[in-house]
Chains A and B, each alone.
Chain A
Amino acid sequence: MLGYKELPFEIMQTGEFYYDLMKSGRIKIVRKIKDPVTLQDPCNIIRRAGASEKFRYFVNATCENFTEMTPNKEHNFCCNAGGGLAGLSNWAAHKARGNRVKAQQIKETGAKVVITPCHNCSTGIKDVIKYWDLGVKNVFFDEILVQTMDIPETLKVGK
């Protein structure tokens, strides 16, 4: 690809990276998110990189109450901000209207928090939440991880 036949390094999304960290024990989860959560499967990472099981491992490890959207994994619906549509803020209503199915999906899970592992999805889901007035919030993996992981006290200043 582009002059490199075989890359001498791995490419991964942060979600996959966090999965590796958790699997190898470099990060320990000490708390769990109590709110009901659901997961938006990003097309680029699930359908085009097959990370669905890793993401489920992450979510199950960090959240107590996880409900899947239907359909999920590689059958998920796009957030309507992928494919370069994320930047189109003047089309936000048009995009959100075009994703009523996502709003229904989120509503059906009864979740209070939608985990969006990708920035595009975050934009798209935010638009959907706002337009369809779903009363839920969306968070990233890193936010969840910072809240739930064990940060040794010895690392902190003044200890």
Chain B
Amino acid sequence: MAVKEKIVSRDFKEYVREVNPDVGLDESIKGLTPEKIEKTIKAVLGARTARIRAVLETCIHCGLCSKACQWYLSNDGDPSYAPVAKMRMTIWEMLKRDGKVDAEFIKQCARIVFTECNICHRCSMYCPYGLDVTFIIGLVRRVCFVLGVVPQRQMDQDHAHATTLNQVWLGQNDWLDTMQWQEEEVGAEYKDLRIPIDKEGAEVMWLPLGAEPKTGIYHIERTAKIMHAAGIDWTVPGKDVWDSSNMPMFLRDFATMQRIVRGLFDNAIRLRIKKMVLTE
């Protein structure tokens, strides 16, 4: 295998990574100005709330979180992958420089928070203080999101959510059509098999992941079989929102995130269901 090109971070010599082109990071930083960055950082981190301060003023930099992170362990203990290092390279530096960072720095932050942290909460579990590192990562994600510096595919999913309220740009007609098509397909094998759409008062509302009606159609087929065999009174929503994934939550796009959760709950209330079953 050819040796891949490496970049050494200008700000932290320990941060050495392979070059991985991504339009969402490489192109979007071109429109950033120092004023814009400073303003955004101050808007997001300006009000130092209890949860931010607790982390910043308590963390004793002991490094005990490092071995909780699979990124750190998998990269032979590279210190720049440790959870505390991710905070150091992003939020500490932003606050230390009082928001006066450049676009290159934001790009580096975006790479750290969007592609090297899974928000899995394992570090909080291993931190002696139980500090919410993931909350801090989320704040940095918010900064990067507001500045529009997000890996292209994540941003695309977010746009899909904002536009169609599902992650795969599936319109309502396609969604209904897919459900009816699957009902016919599986119904060829089983008697009276239905995929009830918008059935009021059903016991269970099943919500797929957005990708299921698009590329993972077999999940719908299997679910229909299971529901049929178990004799469950179930339904799928006929109106948006039916996608149980929530990319905006990960990007900290709060407006779209709330629209999705609200839409799911409103569907549940409208159909008076008792259980909401999500694939994710």
Residues of A within 8 A of B (CB): 1-4, 7-14, 17-18, 21, 26-27, 43-44, 47-48, 74-75, 77-85, 87-91, 94-95, 97-102, 118-120, 140, 142-143, 145-146, 149-152, 154-157
Contact = CB atoms under 8 A, between A and B. Distances in A.
**3 A-B pairs with least C-beta separation:** A84-B250, A83-B119, A78-B120
27 contacts: A3-B262, A7-B265, A10-B275, A11-B278, A14-B279, A18-B226, A47-B120, A78-B118, A80-B118, A83-B117, A83-B119, A84-B119, A84-B250, A88-B114, A88-B153, A88-B154, A90-B22, A90-B152, A97-B75, A142-B219, A145-B226, A146-B222, A146-B225, A149-B226, A154-B191, A157-B188, A157-B190
A18 B232 CA distance: 11
Interface in B227-270: 228-232, 245, 247, 249-251, 258, 261-262, 265, 268-269
Contacts of A18: 226
B265 A12 contact: no
B142 to A, nearest CB: 13
B278 A82 contact: no
A69 to B, nearest CB: 12
Contacts of A78: 70, 118, 120, 122
Contacts of B125: 47, 74-75
Contacts of B188: 157
Given A77-B70, A84-B154, A12 B276 contact: yes
User: Interface range on chain B: under 10, 10 to 19, 20 to 34, or 35 or more?
Assistant: 35 or more
Contacts of B276: 9-12
Contacts of B217: none
Contacts of A85: 114-115, 118
B143 to A, nearest CB: 15
Given A9-B276, A21-B232, A43-B118, 7 more contacts: A12-B276, A17-B204, A89-B153, A90-B21, A98-B71, A100-B73, A154-B191
